[in-house]
Amino acid sequence: MIANPSAKYAPFAPIALADRQWPSRTITQAPLWLSTDLRDGNQALFEPMNAERKMSLFKELVRIGFKQIEVGFPAASQTDFDFVRKLIEDKLIPDDVTIMVMTQSREDLIARTVEAVKGSPRAIVHLYNATASAWRRIVFGMSVQQVMGLIGHHVGYLKQLTDAQPDTRWTLQYSPETFSATELEVSLEACHTAINAWGAGPGREVIINLPTTVENATANVFADQIEWMHRHLVPREHIVLSVHPHNDRGTGVAAAEFAMMAGADRVEGCLFGNGERCGNVDIVTLALNLYTQGVHPQLDFSDINAVARVAEECTSIPVHPRHPYAGDLVFTAFSGSHQDAIKKGFAAQDPNGLWEVPYLPIDPADLGRTYDSVIRVNSQSGKGGIAFLLERERGVVMPRRMQVEFSAVVQRQTDASETEINGEDIWALFRQTYLRGSSTGSDAIQYHGHTLDGSGQGIELDLSIQGVRQRLSGQGNGPIAATVDALGLPMRVDSYEERATGSGADAQALAIVEAALEGVAGSGFGVGMSHNIVTASIQAVISVANRLQERRQARGAGGSAEVNAEVGA
């Protein structure tokens, strides 16, 4: 890079449009869409699509709902010519879809293009030529007058050829290539030359397509250019004003949106922003931006993953994992605060109300995506995401303080492994942490069974304590208090919650006990899980007793001897 870029690059001169209207407009309806995936998109591939791929992408574009599809550049490629012929001869173009074919302004190419679409009930012929001063001067060595002569002559020639085939409903699309870099008066003259040579009028519409062939200014400049053209084009009522943004500055979508606000009726682009250099405008993003503003784009992206897979297969270009709406990671939150907010947002979302889940600009379900990937847990994650996964996958709703405790356990694991942890692993960690004291485990206190007396106030526990099987009795105003009494530990139960997990024959009761043990700071949680709620509660008390005693041991207050000595004393 050079120290003084202004010595090499000049800013784009502002457009004199003092009373511009577009900044205060909103977009209230979808534009007419044209997919140029099979032309501009195809031209930009290392390996252009073969006939089979073109066909599969064409069918997908039709399925999505495009009513105008640029199917190729038949005069420049035999594959494209044959493809267009196949579409027509095999009657593969639905009645509500119109194909478009592109040609440069040369008689032989125009003739070959018209030949390619012979027999089609409808066709748009897209004629273009470069108009910007750098192209006129450097590339073609032409004056403005010569450029106008070229346009008038070739549109006239196209009219003559198409008039000779009245069974086809012909539309002219004219593009002043490099429009965004062309003086506005020159663009307007070029468009009027084409419009007049075609004879635009009732029943004979012309599409005027204005490209940012190379995006060269901020998107507001393009909007000004479009509003200026919108005001000056005649006869405006017989002109479909189209835009064709590219994305060299990364603002193709903004340019298209501003252009719609400025008067554009139609947008040309490619799925996922495929196309020359940095791509054509991304129609998926544009369409779904509209959708999230409450405007149906009239394109079907309700299975966005399927669309992405077809596009990837046909173009051999992967969709970026962070691509708006479609990337694998765009509905994934790793950060703890985001996860927490999303979890709360899902819980608060009114199924019939306006969408307002924090951090999710669209309901993933509207795009056929599941919530599976919304919350993923790694070392950056917090309690919200962990709680969300446990709740969604196992129906386990943890009390808030338990969420805090368990997130530290998960954090230690992810810090150590330096990897993401999935719902399955979180559940395994949860069981390992909280379902303690089973008869097959290795805990100091192991539960084998219990008997309640008739009053429900007395209990006899069948336990192993440090491997020694024994029966302990206790009294209390319920099984939990009686179990604490039987254990004989200086332990206080602070909270108790029970839940059902699973359903039908799989249903299990889950008991969560929070308790504190003398000599151990804070409280801890234990969980019991059984088909019987009383058994689950007793197991939860035994679990938390094991955990709290372990904590005390870890502080070096007497080791396992203490467990031995204290339990049942």
Residue (269 or 385) nearer to ligand KIV, CB: 269
Helix and strand counts by DSSP (H, E) for the chain? 18, 14
Minimal distance, residue 360 CB to Zn ion, in Å: 33
Cβ 209 to ligand KIV, closest distance in Å? 6
Q: Say which entry of ligand KIV, Zn ion, none residue 128 contacts (CB below 5 to 8 A, set by partner kind).
A: ligand KIV
Which parts of this chain interact with ligand KIV (CB under 6 A)? Answer: 40, 128, 175, 177, 209, 211, 213, 244, 246
Alpha-carbon 335 to chain mean position: 17
Q: Which does 388 bind (CB under 5 to 8 A by kind): Zn ion, ligand KIV, none?
A: none
* Of 286 and 513, CB closest to Zn ion: 286
If one counts every other C-beta atom within 10 angstroms of the C-beta of residue 72, the result is: 30
Contact residues for Zn ion (CB under 5 A)?
40
3-state percent helix, strand, coil for the chain, nearest multiple of 5: 45, 20, 35
**For the residues of 505-525, what is the DSSP string, one character each?**
GG-EEEEEEEEEETTSSS-EE
177 binds, among ligand KIV, Zn ion, none (CB under 5 to 8 A by kind): ligand KIV
d(CA 265, CA 33): 9
Nearest to ligand KIV of 211, 528 (CB atom): 211
Closer to ligand KIV by CB, 243 or 288: give it: 243
- Least distance from C-beta 253 to ligand KIV, angstroms? 16
- Is residue 279 left, alpha or beta, with left meaning phi > 0 and alpha meaning psi from -120 to 50? left
Shortest spacing between CB 264 and Zn ion, in angstroms:
15
Binding site partner of 180, from Zn ion, ligand KIV, none, Cβ cut-off 5-8 A by kind: none
The residues pairing with 528 across neighbouring beta strands, listed in sequence order, are 511
Of 41 and 364, nearer to ligand KIV (C-beta) is 41
**103 binds, options Zn ion, ligand KIV, none, Cβ within 5 to 8 A by partner type:** none
Residues with Cβ within 8 Å of residue 445, at least 6 apart in sequence: 437, 463, 464, 465, 487, 542, 545, 546, 549, 563, 567
Q: Which is nearer to Zn ion, 180 or 535 (CB)?
A: 180
Nearest residue to 158 via CA among 525, 150, 3 = 150
Question: How is residue 452 written in tokens?
Answer: 């309640």
Partner from Zn ion, ligand KIV, none contacting 175, C-beta within 5 to 8 A by type: ligand KIV
Which segments of 160-289 are extended strands (E)?
169-177, 206-212, 239-245, 266-269
Rounded to a whole number of angstroms, the minimum distance from the CB of residue 80 to ligand KIV is: 14
Cβ atoms 509, 529 nearer than 8 A:
yes
Residue 326 CB, shortest distance to ligand KIV, in Å, is 23
For the four alpha carbons of 84, 88, 90 and 94, in that order, the dihedral sign comes to positive
Question: Cβ 268 to ligand KIV, closest distance in Å?
Answer: 7
The CB-nearest residue to Zn ion is 40
- Choice between 84 and 511, CB closer to ligand KIV: 84
